Chain A
Amino acid sequence: MSSLPPGVVETAEDVRSGRRSAQESLAETLRRIEALDGRVGAFLEVTPQEALAEARAADARVAAGEDLPLAGVPFAIKDNMWVAGRQATCASRILQGFRPPGDSTAVSRLRQAGAVFVGRSNMDEFAMGSSTENSAIQITRNPWDLERIPGGSSGGSAAAVASGMVPGALGSDTGGSIRQPAACCGVVGFKPTYGRVSRYGLIAFASSLDQIGPLGRSVADAARVYGVLAGADPLDSTSSPEDPGEPEAAVARGAAGIRVGFLAEAEAEGLNEDVAKNLDDARRAFLAAGAKVTTVSVPRARYAIAIYYVVASAEASSNLARYDSIRYGPRISDADLSSLYVESRTRGFGPEVKRRILLGTFALAAGYYEAYYGRSMRARAVLSEDFRKAFEEVDVIVCPSIPTPAFAIGEKTEDPLTMYLSDIFTVPASLAGLPAISVPSGYSSEGLPLGLQILGPRLREDLVFAAAGGFEREIALPEEVPRGIR
């Protein structure tokens, strides 16, 4: 593969203007998946028949004069979102064969906008993980180095976009599951403000943190998809009624005049050499783009991982109590109700999901609740307050997306705590519900992608997109085919 096919915006504009049909675009996507996915393993299932029907429908709507912002754009959808007529399994044995009753709101909005759904992308089981190695079905490989992880949990979506198998994908982000794999694979990943995108039809992991967002090859691609996804939904009470604004105009505006604060606590952690050097380049790029660059402190950010693994696990243990093999999922034992629950859950969940359920059950158990869950929720509030104060001084906060480039497959599977620390830079924005984007920012000395993260105040996606657009233009990375699939 010597070049990458068009991205989201270019594909949509081609189809809208009649330069190319949605069916032609789909055919190219399916050819690339056929050629590449045997090596990458991004997809759990490809659904060409359904996608063809959707591409025909998009072509017919364009011909009828409809104005479709995602006309004929092929998407990969993470396996934890409902797509009508397809399975949604969270890459878990306990949901094998589950067919949702319709589209999730996010998918329905993409469908309205003319998108085409080519398949389900791989993920860590129930979105719990940072490497996609916790999928019960298969591992996914990083297109830049097939011996390395693509990040996670939306690793299938990130790898599919990076290798040009699809122009865009949806992921979900609970503690970094869009931004961290995007950085590992050298693509853009955006987590909107908590509540911007409806969670209806997103299979729950941690309900106070989960948020759907786009992955694409450019900031403009992510902005286009976000503009379609965002908006209030009566089916999700936490969805925000605020106007999502004009993200694409913000990208075009750029970083001039924006107050950019580099996060002091990130640099205090003792950064990886490649990451530190990359951050210096980013500082110069923002200055060149006309931003006002300073340093900003979020003192309690250092507690974020500790808070996160209590709050997210507690919510997961509660959300995953529904998997009882009565209404869905393979049933293991029918001897009595208790053994039906226990045997089905014991066989249905993988080790990391069990670990989070156990940790959450511990944090919520009588005798531990106040010391763990109660204290974590109160610490989460002071962390959010730290961010609120920081945003009185700056418009956006900048830090690395990942502490190291993508690590080797198997390197961290035996050490859960070390794996959890992969999310050290992404978890703070999740806990505070802030919008945050990961933008490709260069390469490590070994030629692996690095990502820069830009965080904004709640509901100020416009600032994030403006800063990200300006940074992307200034750093001007040439588009390259990932070297693992060349």
Chain B
Amino acid sequence: MSSRPGTVTPDVVRRIAALARLRLPESELSLWSRQLDRIVSYIDQLKELPEDALPAGDPLPATPMRADRARPGHGDGALTENAPVVAHGFGVVPRVVGGQE
């Protein structure tokens, strides 16, 4: 997909904010759009690199895998200690089944 000033339109900002689970006030969309578009225009200098100068595919070596062995952890206290809402030793979340969602 090609990019030039105007790629990151307010509509694009609205869509990526929804994907990122962020709420941006409508009144700020044009500022976000301008700032991000300026950064993306700068990034577009990568298009100068000729295609045949670049390797094909993902060039990073894969992260080595660990052996699949159980070892002592920090216990369930480490999980519940920081949870904002805990009941009966469990973290509480809003209803996800049978409600409006």
Contacts and interface: CB of A to CB of B under 8 A. Distances in A.
Kindly name the residue among B56, B65, B85 whose own CB sees the greatest number of chain A CB atoms within 10 A: B85
A413 B99 CA distance: 43
A101 B60 CA distance: 32
A329 B35 contact: no
Nearest to A343: B23
Nearest to B23: A346
B49 A382 contact: yes
Contact of A358 (B20, B82, B95): B20
Interface in A335-392: 335-338, 340-343, 345-346, 349, 354-355, 357-359, 361-362, 365, 367-368, 371-372, 375-382
B49 A362 contact: no
Nearest to B93: A326
Interface stretch (A135-143, A288-296, A302-310): A302-310
Given A310-B43, A329-B84, A367 B94 contact: no
A99 interface: yes
A326 B47 CA distance: 41
Contacts of A357: 20, 22
Nearest to A308: B43
14 contacts: A101-B74, A238-B64, A306-B43, A327-B79, A328-B83, A336-B99, A340-B93, A342-B21, A358-B20, A371-B1, A376-B46, A377-B58, A382-B49, A420-B39
Contacts of A368: 1
**Interface size for chain A: under 10, 10 to 19, 20 to 34, or 35 or more residues?**
35 or more
Given A98-B82, A331-B85, A341 B21 contact: yes
The 10 closest A-B pairs by CB, nearest first: A381-B59, A101-B78, A101-B74, A328-B82, A378-B54, A331-B84, A341-B21, A361-B16, A346-B23, A361-B20
B36 to A, nearest CB: 6
A48 interface: no
B54 A359 contact: no
A317 B21 CA distance: 11
A319 interface: no
Contacts of A416: 35, 38-39
Contact of A382 (B2, B16, B55, B81): B55
A345 B23 CA distance: 8
Interface of A: 97-99, 101-102, 208, 234, 237-238, 300, 303, 305-307, 309-310, 317, 321, 324-331, 334-338, 340-343, 345-346, 349, 354-355, 357-359, 361-362, 365, 367-368, 371-372, 375-382, 416-417, 420
B60 A372 contact: no
Given A336-B101, A357-B22, A330 B1 contact: no
A368 B46 CA distance: 14
A325 B66 contact: no
A377 B55 CA distance: 9
B16 A362 contact: yes
Contacts of B6: none
Interface residues of B, number: 55
Contacts of A328: 82-84
A97 B82 contact: yes
Contacts of A358: 13, 16-17, 20, 22, 32, 36
A378 B23 contact: no
B6 to A, nearest CB: 14
Contacts of B99: 336
Nearest to A98: B82
B10 to A, nearest CB: 12
Contact of B93 (A337, A371, A382): A337
B96 interface: yes
B8 A342 contact: no
B16 to A, nearest CB: 4
Contacts of A338: 21, 101
A306 B74 CA distance: 40
Contacts of B45: 303, 306
Contacts of B27: none
B36 A362 contact: yes
B26 to A, nearest CB: 14
B20 A355 contact: no
Interface string B66-101: 100000001000110111110000010111100111
Given A337-B93, A420-B39, A327 B82 contact: yes
Contact of A375 (B35, B38, B54): B54
A342 B36 CA distance: 20
B30 interface: no
A334 B40 CA distance: 35
Nearest to A373: B58
A326 B83 contact: yes
Contacts of B84: 325-326, 328-331
Nearest to A311: B60
B82 A99 contact: yes
A358 B45 CA distance: 20
* Residue from B21, B74, B82, B91 with most neighbouring chain A CB atoms (10 Å): B21
Contact of B74 (A102, A337, A371): A102
A379 B23 contact: no
